[in-house]
Amino acid sequence: MSSSDTILHSEEKITAGPGVAKVKSAGFVGGLILLLAMTGWGFAVGDGMQRFFHGYLVAFTYFNSIALGALFFVLIMHLMGAKWSVNMRRIAEILTQTFPLLALLSVVIWLPMLLGNDNLYIWSSEKFMSENHLVHAKGAYLNPVFFAARQIIYYVLWIGLSRYFYRTSVKQDEGGDDDATRRMAKWAAPAMFGFAFSCAFFAFDMLMSIDPEWFSTMFGVVYFAGCCISIFALMALIPLALQRSGRLVHSITVEHYHDIGKLLFAFVFFWGYVAFSQFMLIWGANIPEETGYFWKRWFESEGVMGIWGKVTLVMLVMHFLIPFVLLMSRHSKRKLQVLAAFSIWMLAWHYLDLYWQVMPALNNHHTFGLAERSATGSYIPMDLGLWVGMGLLFMGYAAGKFRNVNLIPIKDPGLKQSLKFENQ
């Protein structure tokens, strides 16, 4: 293959530059300060950190979905032998390197539970398990020790997979080993199986078990759809940000953004399809332990729609109908300002989707008589503070990885085709 010098534009900048050092420092400092401040606020509320843990879970599963989406992007592109995305793949590879940070952040969820704090997952309460026969039958799976062990297994798998593909790709930059592409394609198939099962069970553990009486085999797919929405939104925004700083201005064109827009549109539709299918099958079957999940997120009392029901209707319009209709247009996917706006839009509504999944379970302890009072008061600023703080930490950690490598895999055999890619 020709050297990268003859493929890339002579004035192309393929390194991140000194600005990422400032992003790294600002992200780490700002994120740590904000998370510590929210932790202090959580203690001050006096509810055993119940509100803090619920807000933390939303933020944590949000940023974990980005890393999982990035891993999926890397795996599926290798699995399909896609050439159009070669010049964008390194960005996803870098985002997968945030798994060690996320593994550390996951400790805040499972370590307090091992130490006896049951204010996040009601099934970790011995009293609740002994009095609730339906959930007691799930005790072999829903117990703090096995929960923590599963989280460790997930992150060992994700870190191992992400580092293999990242390091193999980066090493190819140095030596130009064309066979590295074949090896990564070979390992992408079994890796995809591991990804699929671990992603689904992570969603079952972290999010579905927040309401332990409820179960849905489709829930993992719904979370996976959110992972894909988040990564395809970022795969539009990050290259745009890099190009504004003078990087990759010749290598990534509107043709590549067009395909990213197609994928974003596809998974907006896919999310709507699987979310509605899950609701339709459960509501139609009308089994009490299944419909209770949606009842809690729809009605305040018999026949009276509550605040979460209104949120559901708003989310149907904002998370699905509007982006589905407007992203259908070829123009909206090729007009970069419009694509960027929709990407930011979807990232915001993906957060609300996870918020909708977690927060209605906030008063489970009060409902089952395990707490003297329900969690009251407006603590939305705490929830948003945890989201922003974790986001800054995530951004700072990722920025540190951007410093160390080329922004595109310059020796990948498919790069030449990628640079010349055009939509038909």
What is the residue-wise DSSP string for 372-385? SS---S--HHHHHH
pTM: 0.95
pLDDT in tens, the chain (424 residues): 344 445 898 889 999 988 899 999 999 999 999 999 999 999 998 888 999 999 999 999 999 999 999 999 999 999 999 999 999 999 999 999 999 999 999 999 999 999 999 999 999 998 899 888 889 889 999 999 999 999 999 999 999 999 999 999 999 998 888 899 999 999 999 999 999 999 999 999 999 999 998 989 999 999 999 999 999 999 999 999 999 999 999 999 999 999 999 999 999 999 999 999 999 999 998 888 788 899 989 887 777 888 999 999 999 999 999 999 999 999 999 999 999 999 999 999 999 999 999 999 987 776 666 665 555 557 899 999 999 999 999 999 999 999 889 999 999 999 999 999 998 7
Do 261 and 327 meet the contact criterion of CB atoms below 8 Å apart? yes
> Whole domain around residue 212: which residue ranges?
44-412
Residue 174 lies in a domain: yes
Residue 50 lies in a domain: yes
How many Å is the maximal CA-CA distance in the chain?
71
DSSP for 175-186, written as a single string: H--THHHHHHHH
The amino acid at residue 72 is F
Residue 39 lies in a domain: no
Render pLDDT for 353-363 as a digit per residue (tens, 0 to 9). Answer: 999 999 999 87
Task: With CA atoms as reference, report the closest residue to 145 among 115, 102, 167.
Answer: 115
Residue 2 lies in a domain: no
Query: What domain count does the chain have?
Result: 1
Residue 392 tokens read as 């800054």
Q: At what angle do helices 288-296 and 254-285 cross, to 10 degrees?
A: 130
Residue 29 lies in a domain: no
Give the Cα separation of 225 and 270 in Å (integer): 7
Residue 422 lies in a domain: no
> Which helix (H) or strand (E) is 13 found in, with range?
none
Residue 420 lies in a domain: no
Give the Cα separation of 116 and 164 in Å (integer): 37
Do 407 and 15 meet the contact criterion of CB atoms below 8 Å apart? yes
Residue 31 lies in a domain: no
Render pLDDT for 278-290 as a digit per residue (tens, 0 to 9). Answer: 999 999 988 887 8
Q: In a 10 Å sphere around its CB, with 0-12 CB exposed, 13-18 middle and 19+ buried, how is residue 354 labelled?
A: buried
Q: In a 10 Å sphere around its CB, with 0-12 CB exposed, 13-18 middle and 19+ buried, how is residue 301 labelled?
A: exposed
